[in-house]
Structure 1
Amino acid sequence: MSPNLAGLPPRFLRTPEAARFLGLSGRTLEKHRTYGTGPAYRKLGGRVVYAIEDLQAWADRGAVTSTSDPRGSVLPAKRHDPMPAAPAGRSHR
């Protein structure tokens, strides 16, 4: 690290540090990234990094004042596919 940057706080955090910043597990943050429901991230040199400003903005978007506020849930609802129909021509006796 160059001497003039030594005293600066980090601008980007890797997934484990970003998750700690948000109070989440690393796995939860990875799931949000997969579902597209998490904070903005960048890939630098093949590594996923999060800007602290993006983490704070995402956390602020989740602020709610009531349990009935739909913004309180950031993960999409699980999709349940109906059971497939039985093949035609077969009977279950």
Structure 2
Amino acid sequence: MRDDQPLATRQEVADHVGVPVGTLAAWAYRGTGPRYIRVGRHARYRWSDVEKWLDQHTEGAA
């Protein structure tokens, strides 16, 4: 399956989710954040993985 959107940077995901970049890095270290891809020394995210992660962390009544 191919995601047609370009991979997102950690900064782009942090801005989208509304958290500091350091929080995303900490989540990645602990394995609790959205799935990401290592491209060399850089973390890149598929938007579909970010949205799926957000859906999994949605709380409250529907």
CA distance in 1, matches of 2:46, 2:18: 16
Tell me the equivalent position of 1:62: 57
Q: 2:43 pairs with 26, 48, 72, which one?
A: 48
Runs of 4+ in structure 1 over 4 Å off: none
Q: CA deviation at 1:45?
A: 3.1
**TM-score, normalised with respect to structure 2:** 0.81
Q: CA deviation at 1:46?
A: 2.9
Q: Larger % of helix: which?
A: 2
Q: Where do residues 6-85 of structure 1 align in structure 2 (5 Å cutoff)? A: 10-65=5-60
Larger RCO, structures 1/2 (Cα 8 Å, 6+ apart): 2
1:52-80: CA deviations, max 9, x gaps?
111111111000117xxxxxxxxxxxxxx
Number of aligned pairs?
A: 58
Paired residue type of 1:40: R
Gaps of 5+ in 2: none
Paired residue type of 1:35: R
**TM-score, normalised with respect to structure 1:** 0.56
Root-mean-square deviation (CA, aligned residues, Å) is: 1.7
> Which protein is bigger by CA-based radius of gyration?
1
Identity over aligned pairs, percent: 26
Paired residue type of 1:52: W
